[in-house]
């Protein structure tokens, strides 16, 4: 028997669409695995009623197949599905670490990124590594093709999750097919600024480097109250605000001293827009933990 906790993650961070990701210290999924002749899955926790237990339709079934590691798998969801907080990646990453240990496969965390990304393909149709990489490796991650680089940053964040669902498939449909050279140059500048900010643990640089004009505005339209929530967070001291992953969660960067105010400002602004929400006061943190 092996037990693994894998954290929620926030992908993109505005300027790093399909490339950047960070591990959050909360919420998290916990996965328990036990050897078996064939894979079975039992779900419980937040939103688990919406996730199929059929191994052919569940992310962890794909991970068990990829590792040739059949098991009884119990998933306790702390990360709500369709949240923009890497719910499926948390389960995939936890299952990959747990099954790798259970069957003594000997893969490194870096090698498990590709394995866990197979699980992501089950839900989104494409194998993204920008959530599974931070869920496995922790910190700030840059996923470029098969290569993943990491920075052990520690930046205060608020992840505000409204009571609406946005599926990754729907959020990918609204992504523009092309961008102007001016916008590409702007995005490169932002992404470079954000990366330097992570290396220096500087919330001002990270926040400023989230600015992006192509994908984020298209996705913001899927989130009721987004503009008001963003303004409220900035007024309360956030240094940058953007859509978390494919949404609907909204992620804000701030200094530690402003985190509580930013969290309540975001919840209040969603409420004024008629949407209930929950704010996680969190930070860039560690990846999956094997107990």
User: Should residue 246 be labelled a site residue for ligand HSE when binding is judged by CB under 6 A?
Assistant: yes
Nearest to 12 by CA among 241, 229, 286: 241
Neighbours of 176 (CB within 10 A): 10
* Candidates 64-72, 110-118, 125-133, 264-272; binding stretch for ligand HSE (CB under 6 A): 125-133
Query: Does 216 contact ligand HSE by CB under 6 A?
Result: no
Residue with structure tokens 């990846």? 287
Q: Which of 168, 187, 193, 282 is catalytic?
A: 168
Applying the rule CB under 6 A, the residues between 146 and 205 that interact with ligand HSE are: 168, 171-172
Q: Residue 12 or 190: which CB sits closer to ligand HSE?
A: 12
Interaction between residue 130 and ligand HSE (CB under 6 A) = yes
Contacts of 40 (CB under 8 A, 6+ apart): 53, 55, 72, 73
105: Cβ–Cβ under 8 A, 6 or more apart, which residues?
67, 69, 99
Q: Is 124 in the site for ligand HSE (CB under 6 A)?
A: yes
9, 120, 193, 242: which is the annotated catalytic residue? 120
Tell me which of 4, 6, 8, 11 binds ligand HSE, using CB under 6 A. 11
Question: Distance (Å, rounded) from C-alpha 217 to C-alpha 226?
Answer: 10
Output 131 or 187, the one with its CB closest to ligand HSE: 131
**Which residues have C-beta within 8 Å of that of residue 111, sequence separation ≥ 6?**
none
> In the complex, what is the shortest distance from the CB of residue 231 to ligand HSE, in angstroms, rounded to a whole number?
23
- Does residue 208 belong to the site contacting ligand HSE (CB under 6 A)? no
80 is a site residue for ligand HSE (CB under 6 A):
no
Binding of ligand HSE at residue 245 (CB under 6 A)?
Answer: yes
Query: Which CB, 84 or 197, lies closer to ligand HSE?
Result: 84
The answer to whether residue 278 forms part of the interface with ligand HSE (CB under 6 A) is: no
Find the part of the chain contacting ligand HSE (CB under 6 A) among 10-18, 51-59, 65-73, 146-154.
10-18
Q: Supply the residues annotated as catalytic.
A: 120, 168
Q: Which residues bind ligand HSE (CB under 6 A)?
A: 11-12, 18, 124, 128, 130-131, 168, 171-172, 245-246
């Amino acid at each position: 028997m092996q037990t693994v906790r894998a954290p929620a993650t926030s992908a993109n961070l505005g300027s790093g669409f399909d490339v950047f990701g960070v591990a959050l210290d909360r919420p998290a999924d916990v996965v328990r695995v036990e050897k078996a002749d064939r894979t079975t899955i039992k779900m419980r926790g937040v939103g688990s009623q919406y996730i199929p237990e059929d191994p052919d339709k569940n992310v962890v079934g794909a991970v068990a197949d990829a590792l040739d590691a059949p098991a009884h798998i119990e998933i306790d969801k702390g990360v709500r599905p369709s949240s923009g907080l890497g719910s499926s990646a948390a389960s995939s990453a936890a299952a990959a670490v747990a099954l790798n240990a259970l069957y003594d496969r000997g893969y490194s965390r870096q090698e498990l990124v590709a394995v866990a990304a197979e699980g992501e393909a089950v839900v989104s149709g494409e194998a993204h590594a920008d959530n599974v990489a931070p869920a496995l490796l922790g910190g700030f991650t840059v996923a470029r093709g098969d290569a993943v680089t990491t920075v052990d940053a520690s930046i205060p964040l608020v992840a505000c999750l409204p009571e609406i669902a946005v599926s990754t498939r729907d959020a990918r449909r609204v992504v523009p097919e092309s961008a102007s050279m001016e916008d590409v140059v702007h995005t490169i500048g932002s992404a470079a600024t954000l990366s330097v900010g992570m290396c220096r643990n500087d919330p001002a640089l990270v926040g400023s480097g989230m600015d992006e004009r192509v994908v984020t505005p298209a996705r913001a339209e899927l989130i009721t109250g987004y503009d008001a929530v963003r303004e409220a967070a900035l007024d309360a001291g956030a240094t940058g605000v953007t859509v978390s992953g494919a949404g609907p969660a909204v992620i804000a960067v701030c200094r530690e001293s402003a985190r509580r105010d930013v969290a309540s400002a975001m919840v209040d602004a969603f409420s004024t827009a008629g949407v209930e929400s929950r704010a996680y006061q969190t930070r860039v943190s560690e990846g999956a933990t094997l107990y």
